[in-house]
A and B are shown apart, each in its own frame.
Chain A
Amino acid sequence: MAPFAAFALFEKDTIDAHSNPAGIAIEASALPPRKIILRDSMTVAVLVLSTLALFAITTFLFRSFSDRREELGKQFAASGHIALQHGDAEQAVRYLRLSLSYAPDVTENRLLLAEALAQANHPDQANGYFLGLLDEQPADGFLNLQLARLARQRKDTQSALAYYRAAAVGNWNGDSAMERFHAQLELSDYLASLGDHGSARAELLVAAADVPDDATADTAIGQRFEQTNDLSNALKFFKRALEQDPKDMQALQGARRVIGEMGEAMPAEGTQQ
């Protein structure tokens, strides 16, 4: 006790209170009302000042603490980003986790971690992260597309279709029309891969209705119509692509192929008739 007598300065034993177990502290009850009011006012003033001082100190320390955390968060996020660019998904996951432990509210890093997890072949973990993000942004097209791909990986057809459809109408950063179109095409491809060609064609028609003015997009949709054996629509989109970009070789080859197929089909149809 002796070496730390300084603590005694803060202490005030409870003798006053002990002597009056049931009621008011004797010290207060012995004072005239005016003095009690003055004393209480002083107490409140001291408490207010102490609280303000403590608040100022805590705020100062907290700012410094937050800055350091933010700095560490950025530092590890940058390392994670570089690792991801170099294809080292496992290392990226480690860095991004560290980054998020220091700055958990940075959505981009959470997204990056989810992507890294997916690339590092941890579909369940990536799914968990994407779902968490989707909770905050349920209409986000990118998140829905990623979840659709993960659902596809684990052969959860129902979820995959739901996420694809949400992605095709969701909010996207950048060229949202093009992103929605690609999501729609991916959905069509998925349905085709499941052998549901009717639904795949229906999704293609939906995509065709909103196809952006872009030769590549027209070529892509033309190729898919060709795969579903809808030759007239395929030719229509190849032609549209060539109108926009006459040097689009893929569209040119596609158009030739489709015209050829149509030319072969027509005599056969005539024979049947």
Chain B
Amino acid sequence: MSVEAALAEAPPPLQVSDSLVMREERLFLLLSIFVGVISGLLVVSFRMAIEWLSILLLGVAPAPGQKRLFLIPAAVGLVVAVLTRYVFPGVRGSGVNQTKAALYIHNGYISVRTVIGKFLLSALAIGSGQSLGPEDPSLQIGAGVASLIGRRVGLSRARLRLFAPVGAAAGLAAAFNAPISAILFVIEEVIGKWTAGVLGSIVLAAVASVAVARWFWGAEPMFRIPSITLRDPRELLAYSVLGIIGGFASLIFAKSLGYLRTKLRSQPQWRQILQPSIAGLIVGCIGYFGLPEVMGAGYGAIDQAMHAQFALKMLLLLAIFKIIATIVSFSSGTPGGMFAPTLFIGAMLGGAVGSFERIFFPHLTGSIGSYALVGMGVLFAAFLRVPLTSVFMVLEVSGNYSIILPVILANTIAYLISRSLQPVPIFELLTQQDGLYLPSMEEAREENELRLEDALEPVNYPVVAGSESIQQILASPNEKQRLLDSSYILVQCSDGWYTARKDELERMISESPDKSTAQQPLENRLGKERTPIVFPDQPLANALSYFQRWPVLPVSNRAVRGVLEGVVSFDGVLRRYQGS
């Protein structure tokens, strides 16, 4: 059977009524609130589970020299590895790339098994002291909740695909107690662009989940630091130095992680099962021999760094060993996130720069807490490559807006260093190692999209007023000849433009035998259909769908109604795409 015949026999395209479209849109918004609330509840439970497990496994007062510090992470690591291998194979890694994969590859599908596995195994791993964080798993748990609800309700594929990021924003917002950062992160790193269709749902879900989280945890920001006043502008130099240090530290972190993860993933299966256990042993040894602060998410130590509780040497040691601990924990395939370790390393580096300043430049008045706070944002911007999110994250987790100037400066410096020395962002690197080809959001943000103005051609077609009749238009023999020589005629009607083909004009001439018909205004005879109104700044791709009906599109001026900037044609657009 030929293709044409198959198409002829195929059932007609599904006719979907407007009311059903409206119903799904409303349902989508309503479900977003449910996704937010349920994700918030699950994230609260997840955080509780981590803390409970931490108390149960590591004791109420972990301190160097306690044998359980190196025994427990190793033993739990083995359990986690076996469960990951045989029961929950989809829970490896942080959760961010898995959510992106759900969006771009699996049509928004995240299995319930993955959600349950992520919850249990991440809580076990982080609670036992592996150097990982709860935020990225929370993001995936939220996305999984959204996916489950979307499937049960029977959302369309397009909606289902968009629903996973909605849940992701909810999960992350609850984990960070920071709705703006979560929304920005999902837009910067998961979706890649601002989409009006999904933004409302993301905001609703994020706000709902944060409301739930605050119901339980309270409205206090995650970290409390003294208010900061930038008294001496020279301090910006110190913050710039912090940006440079953070940029290079993130580079070392990312390169080492990329290298070790590749090496460990190339090992035989039986060795891979042992990797989380060995990682646990290494992290446990770091804790046993003096630095239990690097174990787990490390929020307590971040808070201490903010309150200048560590000396310079200790801050540097914590930063270095946290990098090591996180690299081994994450590379081993243990489920858990990288957000909290990134914040930890940044806070320690920031605190170190602040302490250095306090010792060697005592006349500068910046508090160590402010440097620790800025350091968190610096590493977030440079390592995760989300510059906008990093700024808002610092503001939201501290509830302190006085720090904005140093944050922007230091984050930008760190981001630029990281970008220039490590062209592939960490999430993309991990995706490539996993054998997936997900879109790079950093590249997508910087893609130079072609617009209609790039394919604009001068108006070389005759333009006639729609208010004139055929008789008036054809009164002059020269004008008649000009119209009949042209392939298209642009008719300016009172309610828009109409691109008439030559054969349409000829038909109208032939169908005007009597005087009354010939005197009718042209726009009345063209019917109600009009050429779509397009403007020069609109994406060029938008025009493609119109060319089947309208071979030439008049491009209107946004300021003066009725004035044309030019026209675009199918051939012109193709030529522009082909770069000629």
Contacts and interface: CB of A to CB of B under 8 A. Distances in A.
B14 A16 contact: no
Q: Give the size category of B's interface with A.
A: 35 or more
A21 B157 CA distance: 5
A114 to B, nearest CB: 9
A36 B23 CA distance: 9
Contacts of A44: 30
Contacts of A132: 224-226, 307, 369
Of A57, A101, A129, most B-chain CB atoms within 10 Å: A101
B272 interface: no
Given A14-B160, A26-B14, A54-B41, A7 B113 contact: yes
A175 interface: no
Interface stretch (B104-112, B190-198, B484-492): B104-112
Contacts of B55: 68, 72
B51 A65 contact: yes
A50 B307 CA distance: 42
B224 A61 contact: no
Contact of B226 (A62, A69, A131): A131
Contacts of A129: 307
B87 A62 contact: no
A11 B151 CA distance: 8
Given A24-B21, A58-B45, A128-B309, A17 B157 contact: yes
A122 B420 CA distance: 41
B152 interface: yes
B219 to A, nearest CB: 12
A124 B45 contact: no
A65 B48 contact: yes
Contacts of A125: 307-309
Contact of A16 (B87, B154, B306): B154
B450 interface: no
A97 B158 CA distance: 50
B52 A124 contact: no
A51 B34 contact: yes
Interface string B282-310: 00000000000000000010011011110
A35 B155 CA distance: 16
Contacts of B262: none
Interface in B348-364: 358
B56 to A, nearest CB: 11
Of A25, A98, A127, A134, most B-chain CB atoms within 10 Å: A25
A24 B14 CA distance: 9
Nearest to A66: B216
From DSSP, what is the main secondary structure of chain B's interface residues? helix
B107 A18 contact: yes
Contacts of B51: 65, 69
A104 B226 CA distance: 15
A61 B16 contact: no
A168 to B, nearest CB: 22
Interface in B148-188: 148-149, 151-158, 160
Given A24-B21, A65-B51, A98-B61, A14 B27 contact: no
Given A29-B20, A58-B44, A129-B307, A17 B60 contact: no
A202 B321 CA distance: 55
B201 to A, nearest CB: 15
Contacts, number: 146
A136 to B, nearest CB: 8
A14 B224 contact: no
A4 to B, nearest CB: 6
A194 interface: no
B16 A24 contact: yes
A105 B220 contact: yes
Interface in A143-178: none
Interface in B104-132: 107-109, 111-113, 116
A43 B367 CA distance: 53
B20 A24 contact: yes
Nearest to B108: A14
Contacts of A69: 51
Contact of A23 (B14, B37, B112, B224): B14
A23 B34 CA distance: 22
B24 interface: yes
B29 to A, nearest CB: 12
Interface string A44-72: 10010011001101110110010011001
Interface string B61-82: 1000000000000000000000
B38 interface: yes
Given A14-B151, A51-B41, A54-B41, A128 B226 contact: yes
A29 B14 contact: yes
Contact of A28 (B31, B154, B303): B154
Nearest to B307: A128
A122 B368 CA distance: 14
B433 interface: no
B367 A10 contact: no
Given A54-B38, A124-B358, A131 B151 contact: no
A27 interface: yes
B19 interface: yes
Contacts of B309: 97, 117, 122, 125, 128
Interface string B30-58: 11001001100110110010011001000
Contacts of B155: 17, 25
A142 interface: no
B524 interface: no
Interface in B291-349: 300, 303-304, 306-309
A50 to B, nearest CB: 7
A12 interface: yes
A22 interface: yes
A237 interface: no
Interface in B230-279: none
B460 interface: no
B156 A20 contact: yes
Nearest to A16: B154
Interface in B412-447: none
A76 interface: yes
Contacts of B367: 128, 131
Contacts of A260: none
A97 B303 CA distance: 11
B289 to A, nearest CB: 18
A18 B108 CA distance: 11
List of 10 A-B pairs having minimum Cβ-Cβ separation, nearest first:
A128-B308, A17-B157, A131-B226, A10-B112, A128-B307, A23-B16, A7-B113, A25-B154, A12-B151, A24-B20
Given A14-B108, A16-B154, 20 more contacts: A13-B151, A17-B156, A22-B158, A23-B156, A26-B14, A28-B23, A29-B14, A29-B20, A33-B19, A44-B30, A47-B34, A51-B38, A62-B44, A65-B51, A65-B52, A68-B55, A69-B51, A127-B308, A132-B307, A135-B224
5 contacts: A7-B113, A17-B156, A18-B107, A20-B14, A54-B38
